[in-house]
Amino acid sequence: MKILKFGGTSVGSPQRMHSLVELITDGKPKIVVLSAMSGTTNALVDISQALYSKEHDEAGQLIAALEKKYTEVVNELFSSETSRLKGFELISTHFDYLRSFTRDLFTVNEERAILAQGELISTALFQFLLEEKQVASVLLPALNFMRINANAEPDMEYITENIRYELNKYPGIELFITQGYICRNDYGETDNLKRGGSDYTATIIGAAVRAEEIQIWTDIDGMHNNDPRVVNSTYPIAKLTFDEAAELAYFGAKILHPTCILPAKNENIPVKLLNTLQPDAAGTIISSENQAEGFRAVAAKDGITAINIKSGRMLLAYGFLRAVFEVFERYRKPIDMITTSEVAVSVTVDNTDDLVNIVEELNEFGTVNVDSDLSIVSIVGLFPADKPGYAGSIFDALRNIPVRMISYGGSENNISILVDTKLKKQTLLALNKGLFGLE
Ligand code: ADP
Ligand code: ASP
Ligand code: MG
């Protein structure tokens, strides 16, 4: 069994959906995970925002605009009148549901229910298309088996048991379609795996059914050596280890959801990154196979805040770091980077939730400074601790960049630096030239 995940662009138009049917109907058993059509989740976020701020007219207009788009999709997607009617009925059910919130109280739960509509619609339409083309397939509702626990982590035991139960209901069926991104939480409510979460759905399902391979199909020919949204000359990387891919995903390579590599790594299932627009391109293979030492890629993560705690008492005081980290632990706040000196420690976090309370508590230990609008730039590859030259090449490349923090030696796969976000592009360009020889 293989898992194939198709992102927003891959289902972004009726033509793309037709090409997708071609791509997946080779008779081999597979579970196909679909995202919402591109732009839909963003539109649903805007609708939620308008409802949250009680701008009901604005929400109504946004809903109408999105419904118009889907009406056109349904018109174009199907060739028979019967399928078209089924499509229109589906669309009106979902949009009547969205409209119902323009009169109701609006809560976080309802926001999550709204965000789930994109994947529910794309998969239902795609299943109708397969039915019209007489391809035997079953639509598996992700809400019947995808679940996160109280820590917002996938409940692998529940998922494994329930997806197997769902699959066993359909002996003889080789093609299953399901929604990416959406799940239930600990309370059984509709929730999601955070933006870009369909990749995570694919690797979680892959681990649950012990798939032979997970394929992430998107709009680019694999993981590139630098962020193609920022830097012009980049190239696809043929092979990555799970650890390298996990570092790149976590530190900003948008092609992968930040934590989606772990389930595949845990079960040692190779992940291929492939391009729907160029299906024959080699793409990237992520596996446990060792790779040569050297620089593989750089990525950048924005929205970083640095917190610096300076204390006379840190000098020779064991227990100081523990006390500082306990504050972050109490607020369940992950720390991305840490650097220390004899009198100070700096850490970075990737959102400002609870920051005011955290800073207030840290004030007890010394003088606290907070800096925002920063980016972590991560250099990923294999840098054995006993091999010279890697730090030298990086420092050389960054000769003209004011670097705020450096984290080296935490793992052999990642060297991270912190810069002002306004210098991100310059930093990525400098590394592209210095480490990869690309202008
Ligand atoms: P999908 O909707 O298919 O999930 P995404 O937009 O989430 O697609 O991810 C693909 C995009 O990731 C690419 O179009 C590219 O702009 C962006 N991206 C950022 N960094 C990288 C990288 N290092 N390699 C490849 N793509 C990257
Ligand atoms: N549709 C969701 C999003 O836009 C999930 C995904 O595309 O992976 O974030
Ligand atoms: Mg994505």
Tell whether 18 and 130 lie within a shared domain.
Answer: yes
Q: Tell me, what's the pLDDT at 215?
A: 98
Atom of ligand 2 nearest to the CA of 42: 4
According to the model, what pLDDT value does residue 152 have?
93
Instruction: Name the token pair of 331.
Output: 């607020």
- Domain extent, residue 430, equals 296-436
Ligand whose nearest atom lies closest to the CA of 142: 2
Predicted pLDDT of residue 355: 96
Ligand 1 mean position to 277 CA, how many Å?
Answer: 13
Residues of the chain with pLDDT under 70: 103-105, 313-317
Determine the longest span between alpha carbons in the chain, in angstroms.
Answer: 78
- The percent of residues in the chain predicted with pLDDT above 70, rounded, is 98
Q: For the domain that residue 26 is a member of, what is the CATH number?
A: 3.40.1160.10
Mutate to test the pocket of ligand 1, among 34, 119, 220, 221 (most ligand atoms within 8 A of CB): 220
Residue 341: the pLDDT is 86
Q: How far does residue 255's CA lie from ligand 3's centre (Å)?
A: 6
pLDDT recorded at residue 316: 52
Count up the domains in the chain and report the number: 2
**pLDDT at residue 320 in the model:** 84
Distance of alpha carbon 223 from alpha carbon 200, whole angstroms: 16
d(CA 185, CA 339): 35
pLDDT attached to residue 103? 67
- DSSP codes joined into one string, 55-110: -HHHHHHHHHHHHHHHHHHHHHH-SSHHHHHHHHHHHHHHHHHHHHTTTS---HHH
Q: Is 236 helix (H, G, I), strand (E, B) or coil?
A: strand
**Residue 376's beta-bridge partner residues?**
301, 418
Boundary residue ending a domain (219, 244, 267): 219
Beta bridge partners of 216: 5, 273
The confidence score (pLDDT) of residue 314 equals 57
- For residue 394, the domain's CATH number is 3.30.2130.10
CA dihedral 288, 207, 257, 348 (to 10 degrees): -70
Give the CA dihedral 188, 194, 198, 203, nearest 10 degrees.
-80
Query: Cβ contacts of residue 388 below 8 Å, gap of 6+?
Result: none
Predicted confidence (pLDDT) per residue in 301-320, tens digit: 999 999 999 987 655 567 88
In a domain, 330, yes or no: yes
Domain presence at residue 336: yes
Q: Are residues 79 and 200 in the same domain?
A: yes
* Domain final position from 219, 239, 267: 219
Q: Is residue 280 part of a domain?
A: no
